[in-house]
Structure 1
């Protein structure tokens, strides 16, 4: 399938992954509409391409979405809009569930009513919980360890049942961790870059936890390949690199890239999660079989690109200016 000239909507298109996906869709010569409430996402992420796309401010819980689909004659939908940052779910669990689960149901119902040809729903590797075996394939048990992960699993299963019960043509993408320019939340890689840009002293949580990282351009390209493939409808598909790194290893690698030696790491109790996921490592063989996709960007090269972007953009992430006092990280009672 070719997306050239097709009308595509991206919910959460002003976010970290979403804004990169929008750029990839423009390279495919698609007609792109971004639907975002700009709570996590930011117009800054779309600044240099804003004249090439249509931007609609809206909430996925708003019934207006179906009118947006109709007015823009949308044919394909990438659903990324979500409450994405795990530490916040401890303070607002209801909002996380409403947005991530109920919001997804609303999107899927709107897509059914609007006759959308295909939806790619963004799930998360967090639905698996800590790895019971590695690499983790789509048959791995789902044991979510946070309200965020529970809400994403609910949405994931809603997409699955809506395909079988309502004939909604949806593919479910279980995305492992992504990194790169335009990060919108203090995930571990941008957090390490920020701290190590200032000194060799780090304040961290669980340094033994490990994650599987895919460069954002590769991730966006993969999502498009899922959309293009007729074999992914009704399927759950993992996307990742197949290699994981501990927080300790990441600190040492990024420290070396930034010229920091003799790192001093202080672990803070406030940075530990009530239930932590110790390890995630992706088996993306199904993704490769169905779409031909595999990651192209070397991990070190991706880190270098990310650091370069950070340096060229005032050494400040969007989240550093957007997070207000009410967004402070959860702290154990």
Structure 2
């Protein structure tokens, strides 16, 4: 359902409870910002500084939403930036991270500095400021290739890429601050989020952007891995659910996924059906992960999140793909992508 916000007075905006979002300029972060504004919050949003003055994907959020957003340019690696963002916020949603797996093979130290040190800065600021709740972002990649399915939160953690290793480190830091200092932190572990604004380094926008540009021979990597895809609006609702839930979620790690498993190859076929295109795939070696690094199977058990918060995915994969395809086929949106190029 489309929500429309009426123009707000400054009094209305200032009376809203304040929450902070790191990584608000990114794919999921911009959608979460919208979700929180629609739910009645004022969002203090961290966007990384660039000389172009860009706010990332927040530049493409509707003005009636942005009037309830205070953008703060900063860097999660900088403790002062983080503290300034979080001061006076009742909840911080910590999404800032380097997430591209292929680039983590190239520049692993940058992932340590952003994903681990950045998380430490958030936790330390929350401890000093008395922040009421920290929602920390994990990833299904920390599980590695599934040993048992569906994957419960108790599944072993396997660092199959430098990216996943740094996220495991960040998750364990968050856990340690709950156990050591009683910090009110909850970790959300989303599975394979997709939707409008996603980078073309991810498989669904890689496929859809090529189809939207008129290509029918799709260049991909391995077609065998299975994924549990979750539409970004459902992921954003999961974040808000754990941010607003009772104290029973504190100290917990909770999966957010659809509970549906599909191979990359079958995803291509489904997108072809949704977009009315007959597709053929050509494998490019450059898109393949190192053999021991590829996560071959992911399938979420989200029963704990559902039991504690009532959250469940609302959109089917088919409907989510339709919405994503509609966004990408808008020429203005498609123009932001280097279609067909391999994106690290």
Query: Does the 8 A contact of 2:187 with 2:252 survive in 1?
Result: yes
Q: Residue in 2 aligned with 1:13?
A: 24
Asked if 1:308 is matched to 2:326, the reply is yes
* 3-state DSSP of counterpart to 1:90: helix
Asked if 1:228 is matched to 2:244, the reply is yes
Query: Does the 8 A contact of 2:153 with 2:255 survive in 1?
Result: yes
Q: CA deviation at 1:43?
A: 3.8
Of residues 280, 285, 297, the one that matches 2:315 is 297
Q: CA deviation at 1:98?
A: 1.0
Of residues 68, 82, 85, the one that matches 2:97 is 82
Q: CA deviation at 1:313?
A: 5.0
Query: Does the 8 A contact of 1:183 with 1:317 survive in 2?
Result: no
Q: CA deviation at 1:280?
A: 0.4
- List gaps (5 residues or longer) in structure 2: 1-14
Q: CA deviation at 1:42?
A: 3.5
Of residues 274, 278, 283, the one that matches 1:267 is 283
User: Which string of whole-angstrom CA distances, capped at 9 and with x for unpartnered residues, describes residues 45-81 of structure 1?
Assistant: 43533322100010011122213322xx111100000
Asked if 1:60 is matched to 2:76, the reply is yes
- Give, in whole Å, the separation in 1 of the partners of 2:334 and 2:174: 36
Of residues 16, 29, 38, the one that matches 1:27 is 38
Q: Residue in 2 aligned with 1:212?
A: 228
Asked if 1:37 is matched to 2:48, the reply is yes
Query: Does the 8 A contact of 1:10 with 1:33 survive in 2?
Result: yes
Of residues 276, 296, 305, the one that matches 1:278 is 296
- Give, in whole Å, the separation in 2 of the partners of 1:192 and 1:169: 40
- Give, in whole Å, the separation in 2 of the partners of 1:99 and 1:62: 9
RMSD: 1.9
User: Which string of whole-angstrom CA distances, capped at 9 and with x for unpartnered residues, describes residues 205-224 of structure 1?
Assistant: 11001110111111111111
- Give, in whole Å, the separation in 1 of the partners of 2:199 and 2:218: 21
Q: Residue in 2 aligned with 1:127?
A: 142
Q: TM-score, normalised by structure 2?
A: 0.88
Distance 1:5 1:61, change over 3 A: same
Q: TM-score, normalised by structure 1?
A: 0.91
- List gaps (5 residues or longer) in structure 1: none
Q: CA deviation at 1:317?
A: 6.5
Moved more, 113-122 or 48-57: 48-57
Q: Residue in 1 aligned with 2:131?
A: 116
Q: Residue in 2 aligned with 1:164?
A: 179
Distance 1:44 1:153, change over 3 A: same
- Give, in whole Å, the separation in 2 of the partners of 1:111 and 1:12: 17
The count of corresponding residues between Structure 1 and Structure 2 is 319
